Chains A and B, each alone.
Chain A
């Protein structure tokens, strides 16, 4: 049996090991294996980054309430440019006052609107400018209110302040729909049952966005009804830091004679793939070559631009105006056109329903209904390849692996 180790022996050996060098000394590395930049450069950059975080970048950490939080609004020393190069710290009470003032300003717009109404006929371009002016006015008013409440309050953002990427001078952060505007759109379309194009014209939001708002609002309400938790703090925080389009409730007496702010151009012509080529069409001088003909020149089935835009009815309104109808007459004409269109749509729907009733036959069975639709074998045509024919085709390869086949669902049943 070997002699037991004494405690003194053990401690001595341990101290001996601790004194001995643990690893072989290596020369200082100049760069890491995976990186081209030298270690010194990396360290330098990291230090600079932390310097920026603790210096100029510090105010970005705490966003100013009711304002965007973009790099473009600060100079390189971390001072808010629009605050007059002096960074200011507002107390909690001041912040509350500021938020309230902002909310008040968002609810209304100044009287300069009257001139705006007269200038509407000049088209989309002028409208955009107008809305820009309106937004500016709203901001100015807001600024005035703030000055009244507190001399040291912040002025509203200018276009330069809405640049998230300082190196990209041409990128401006675009406004998003405010929560009130989204709710108003939902109420307008779902509760009042107005058509989507009308909502688009009324709120100055594109047809597609109206559809998206209605769908998302519907889902939101459904989730609330189901008791699901929504990410409200998140949406609130994001919306506070983005420029938003406010909702102007024209039914309120204080907003009488005002017009909702246009969110985006709603009547832009969508580029049809058939029109992407350049065409030179020789036409006789004596011949009238209209937009209808231009559409046909590109593709026989292509509608003219006047009918492909999202709101052809607006063109008709302007045409009436040019013809010299009075305001009441124009209104009556527009209403008549709308009613006619609705009548036509209703008739088509009824006809479709009637046809379905005639051809559809439901046979209830144990687990599911068997729905029989009457078709005609004649539709397949002589060679059996007519697209109206029913059934899987014979002698034709299936096209589902072909390029450009859309397989994602294009509509949702809700």
Chain B
């Protein structure tokens, strides 16, 4: 039977929370899986007050175990693929790589601008 790496929705109404699980493809969404690889909290957390940091999403993942399951033929769902590709387990699809590159470029550009402003201020 096909193994899938997929998300199982827990949490409450309007407060979703997902377990990242390895399960047989034909089992119910929230049935007991073979293994819980981690969690995905899709609600973005605000940055710490008083900083310029960006909001963030909290993901817990056993990377080595996920790599093992992919290695033995588990098929990630689209969302799981997106998440796993972020940590480099899979080839990026769904524009993950493009966006990441853009954000990094924008950030470095912003950082290179800041010292100039500081000099002007002085």
Which residues in A have some Cβ–Cβ distance to B below 8 Å?
361-377, 380, 384, 389-392, 394-395, 413-414
Instruction: Assess A392 versus B35: contact at CB under 8 Å? Given A368-B57, A376-B62.
Output: no
Which residues in B have some Cβ–Cβ distance to A below 8 Å?
8, 10-11, 17, 19-20, 32, 35-39, 44, 48-50, 54-63, 65, 83, 86-87, 96, 99-100, 102-104, 107
> B63 is contacted by which of A370, A374, A380, A390 (Cβ under 8 Å)?
A374
Are A365 and B103 closer than 8 Å at their CB atoms?
Answer: yes
Instruction: Assess A364 versus B36: contact at CB under 8 Å? Given A371-B58, A372-B59.
Output: no
Chain B residues closer than 8 Å to A377, beta-carbon distance:
35-37, 62, 65
Given contacts A371-B57, A413-B49, 15 further A-B contacts (CB under 8 A): A365-B103, A368-B44, A368-B54, A368-B55, A368-B56, A369-B54, A370-B86, A371-B56, A372-B63, A374-B62, A389-B36, A391-B19, A391-B60, A413-B48, A414-B50
Instruction: Assess A375 versus B61: contact at CB under 8 Å? Given A363-B87, A368-B44.
Output: yes
Instruction: Assess A372 versus B86: contact at CB under 8 Å? Given A366-B103, A391-B19.
Output: yes
Q: How many Å lie between the Cα of A372 and that of B83 in the bound state?
A: 9
Q: How many Å lie between the Cα of A391 and that of B37 in the bound state?
A: 8
Q: How many Å lie between the Cα of A354 and that of B102 in the bound state?
A: 29
Are A365 and B39 closer than 8 Å at their CB atoms?
Answer: no
Are A362 and B56 closer than 8 Å at their CB atoms?
Answer: yes
Closest to A412 in B: B49
Q: Name the prevailing secondary structure of the A interface residues.
A: loop
> A392 is contacted by which of B17, B87, B96 (Cβ under 8 Å)?
B17
Are B61 and A372 closer than 8 Å at their CB atoms?
Answer: yes
Chain B residues closer than 8 Å to A374, beta-carbon distance:
61-63
A-B contact list, 10 entries, CB within 8 Å: A365-B86, A367-B55, A368-B56, A370-B86, A371-B58, A374-B62, A390-B39, A392-B19, A394-B32, A414-B49
Chain B residues closer than 8 Å to A413, beta-carbon distance:
48-49
Are A392 and B10 closer than 8 Å at their CB atoms?
Answer: yes
Q: How many Å lie between the Cα of A370 and that of B43 in the bound state?
A: 11
Are B60 and A375 closer than 8 Å at their CB atoms?
Answer: yes
Q: Which of B38, B49, B58 has the most CB of A within 10 A?
A: B38
Chain B residues closer than 8 Å to A375, beta-carbon distance:
38, 60-62
Are A373 and B54 closer than 8 Å at their CB atoms?
Answer: no
Are B87 and A372 closer than 8 Å at their CB atoms?
Answer: yes
Chain B residues closer than 8 Å to A364, beta-carbon distance:
54, 100, 103-104, 107
> B59 is contacted by which of A367, A371, A395 (Cβ under 8 Å)?
A371
> B38 is contacted by which of A369, A384, A390 (Cβ under 8 Å)?
A390
Instruction: Assess A365 versus B100: contact at CB under 8 Å? Given A389-B36, A392-B19.
Output: yes
